[in-house]
A and B are shown apart, each in its own frame.
Chain A
Amino acid sequence: MIDYGRMFRGLDGGESETPTAPATEQRRGLLRRLVDNLAKSRQALQQQIAAIAFDPAADDVFEALEEALLLADCGVPATVEIVRRLEQEAAAGGLRTTEDLTAALRRVVADLLAGAESRIDLTARPSVVLVVGVNGTGKTTTVGKLAEHVRRAGGTVVIGAADTFRAAAGEQLETWAGRAGADFVGSTSGQDPAAVAFDAVSAAEARGRDVAIIDTAGRLHTQSNLMAELGKVRRVIASRLEGAPHETLLVVDATTGQNGLQQARLFGAAVPLTGIALTKLDGTAKGGIAIAIAHELGLPIKLIGVGETLDDLRPFDAAEFAAALLGAPS
């Protein structure tokens, strides 16, 4: 059950609704879910054991912490900062038990991520959410899931297919729109993505939908012409509707290493970002790069992707995330 008040600002159906997965998405059936859950609890158990290993009394506890953070892709600067703060607390005598340490870590990580609003701002009518990122991070899937959760939270959605480049990108997105019960504004291959975005925003306004979510083509942040194209998509949206886009989310794959920082810097330079959607946290990757990004750029994590079905989207919870970084069960 998701508390939509923690995921969105500006949707009044914002109180929790028990998600009921439509039949279409139970693609791997009941048995699969059972196996998954078993695997997950086994993993959780192992992680618990790993977590217990962080005994603040041990000589090498900070070395072990450092190792865990680096292995979680937090990167050297953020790791050094986190360990420095924990060492300070330890020196002040604040850390005696494993629980103390875990709690302190949650605080420190939450602190690094703090201040920034971690809910998706959907107060405007219509609100426009632009979704960007490098190839294959999970943009299209996230658009589909987000549309579904907006619907569950009581909102109506138009999805715009501004990926006019990749083969079958439109078909893929249309499937998701169907699953999420959202309107779909399609495009033809090679069409100007800015024009599609314009149409989607217009459609949301004309039909009185609450939210327009625009999917864009994956692109490497080093391709300056494609980054310029993205800038144009944003400008066209902004000129079509004042204050839009209200959210520009960078979709980051949790398996990404330190290059994620560069992605955030360069996408941010092309289109001002409002937050990160961190996907694929259902694997063994911890997504520490999001901490590095938050640490350097102050960009909040707003959504978490934990699988390939409509259900698998979560609001961001700093404490849970911090616990998972060290392998502790959340």
Chain B
Amino acid sequence: MFDSLADRLNSTLTDLRSRGRLSPEDVAAAMREIRLALLEADVNFKVVKSFVETVRERAVGDGVLGGLNPGQQVIKIVNEELTALMGTGAAKLRLKSSPSVILLAGLQGAGKTTACGKLAMLLAKQGRKPALVACDVYRPAAIDQLQTVGGQAGVPVFERGADVDPAEIAVWGVQQARQQGRDVVIVDTAGRLHVDAELMDELVRIRDAVKPDDTLLVLDAMTGQDAVNVAETFRERVDFSGILLTKLDGDARGGAALSVRAVTGVPIVYASVGEKLDQLEEFHPDRMASRILGMGDVLTLIERISENVDADRAAEMERKLQRSEFTLDDLLDQLRTIRKMGSLGGLAKMIPGLGKQLRGMDVDDRQLDRVEAIILSMTPQERRSPEIVNGTRRARIARGSGTSVQQINALLQQHRQMKKMMKGLAGGKMPGMPAIPGLPAAAGTAHKKRRKKR
């Protein structure tokens, strides 16, 4: 089993020769993997279908960006499309009136009652004066639970037992809150199935009675394919304005968040990340994209490569490789490009799979410093034609760079191997310099075409 889409795509696409753009077969293979990864992350089947179609169109049309291998290129497209779907920047509550009313609704067991307490706590921290109203008159001890939670959050809880109509309790609760000078009222409701006509009618009555500034759908991050049915029905009936995603502290990929966002267009406002009352956060859609795909930080890595690799230089490099002209100057150049992206250890951690392998191993940036020092101590002619570096020259270079003759031998040896390997791959992809000790295969293929601007 693959851990993530990044691993999957890399393993499907690593054998591919670079062609400046993805071939139809590459695209088909990549789309299969994306489809599987999204389904495994619980993105709704129908949403997956249309999403994959969008990505396919772009993947066929776009050229491959210099510095990215085909797998990374596809991930980049996937990420951009995911981000477009999820939205960027954090969404905010409206909270217009005074007191503002927030209505929480959702399926049974989604985590509404706890969410009420957390939201109250968060709003209080932001200088608001929240109150809670207990409208779950069905589940045994739901009112007790809200009272306890309210007590822990230090906010008043208004309740009238379990024998009063919830809409009436809601109106009364808002009145109480106003009289006591509270400026936000959070209304807890019973969990209900979207197909339960009577209870959905009740929810509509509560909403019509208190006219909330915001209605939040509380959604369990572990929800599967059914999330779209739930969201569509709640949307039709109570037109919720935001989503509060719960249980994100688990290991669910949370594809339901994407599905729900895709079918309703409503933003996710909050994420609940633990059982403690202070574990509610504003939601960051960009982080969700990589969570759904299990991509770790590979996206950051791709961004850095995109920023640092100049497409023309990359093309030049590829031409040199093909003619087997890869000099020590070129090696130095590559090294510096990689160094610009951050520390080796940090880069390695961003590469799926590699981070794990390297854990506990010493990824040493000083080795790169050493290589750089050695090359810099050579004359331009030595860098172009390393074969002229004889014993005397080696001793001089070792002295100049503060290294040993053995280390210089090792570098020259590695450079020869790299050159040989690259010659073998004429026109093929440039391995990301695996020969340098401790250096991950980061920068992949160099290509001639620049990706079209969108």
Contact = CB atoms under 8 A, between A and B. Distances in A.
Given A135-B109, A136-B108, A259-B251, A175 B195 contact: no
Given A172-B144, A255-B107, 8 more contacts: A36-B198, A67-B45, A72-B225, A73-B225, A172-B139, A172-B141, A220-B250, A259-B253
B226 A285 contact: yes
Contacts of B227: 255
Contact of A75 (B40, B148, B222): B40
A48 interface: no
A177 to B, nearest CB: 10
30 contacts: A35-B198, A36-B198, A70-B225, A73-B225, A76-B40, A135-B111, A135-B247, A135-B275, A138-B109, A167-B149, A168-B144, A172-B139, A220-B249, A222-B250, A222-B251, A223-B249, A253-B109, A253-B222, A256-B223, A257-B255, A258-B41, A258-B224, A258-B253, A260-B222, A283-B195, A284-B194, A284-B195, A284-B229, A285-B225, A308-B108
A282 interface: yes
Nearest to B233: A284
Contacts of A73: 42, 224-226
Contacts of B147: 168
B144 A171 contact: yes
Contact of B138 (A27, A167, A221, A280): A27
Binding site secondary structure of chain A: loop
A153 B33 CA distance: 50
A323 interface: no
B291 to A, nearest CB: 12
Contacts of A168: 141-142, 144-145, 147-148
B39 A70 contact: yes
A330 interface: no
B252 to A, nearest CB: 4
Interface string B84-112: 00000000000000000000000111110
Contact of A285 (B149, B224, B247, B249): B224
A32 B39 CA distance: 37
B223 to A, nearest CB: 5
B249 A134 contact: no
A259 B226 contact: no
Given A35-B198, A70-B45, A282-B193, A255 B145 contact: no
Contacts of B222: 134, 253, 256-257, 259-260
Contacts of A27: 138
A166 to B, nearest CB: 7
Binding site secondary structure of chain B: loop
Contacts of A71: 44-45, 225
A292 to B, nearest CB: 10
B247 A308 contact: no
Interface residues of B, number: 47
Interface in B189-205: 193-198
B225 A257 contact: yes
A255 B149 contact: no
Contacts of B39: 70, 75-76, 258
Contacts of B225: 70-73, 257, 285
Interface of B: 36, 39-42, 44-45, 107-111, 138-142, 144-145, 147-149, 152, 193-198, 220, 222-227, 229-230, 247, 249-253, 255-256, 275
A175 B141 contact: yes
B42 A257 contact: yes
3 nearest A-B pairs in the assembled complex, by CB-CB distance? A257-B224, A136-B109, A257-B42
Contacts of A285: 224-226
A62 B302 CA distance: 38
Interface string A69-91: 01111011000000000000000
A216 interface: no
Contacts of B140: 171-172, 175-176
A75 B38 CA distance: 11
Contacts of B138: 27, 308
A137 interface: yes
Nearest to A43: B195
A96 to B, nearest CB: 28
A144 to B, nearest CB: 8
Nearest to A253: B109
A289 interface: yes
Contacts of B41: 258
Given A135-B275, A283-B226, A76 B36 contact: yes
Contacts of A72: 225
A257 B148 contact: no
A189 B44 CA distance: 40
A285 B109 CA distance: 14
A136 B219 CA distance: 12
Q: Which of B44, B140, B148, B275 has the most CB of A within 10 A?
A: B140
Interface in A225-271: 253, 255-260, 262
Contact of B197 (A35, A257, A262): A35
Q: Which of A32, A75, A134, A220 has the most CB of B within 10 A?
A: A220
B274 to A, nearest CB: 9
Interface in A260-302: 260, 262, 280, 282-286, 288-289
A130 to B, nearest CB: 20
A49 interface: no
A186 to B, nearest CB: 13
Q: Which of A27, A260, A283, A286 has the most CB of B within 10 A?
A: A283
A166 B229 CA distance: 30
A136 B111 contact: yes
Contacts of A195: none
Contacts of B226: 73, 255, 283-286
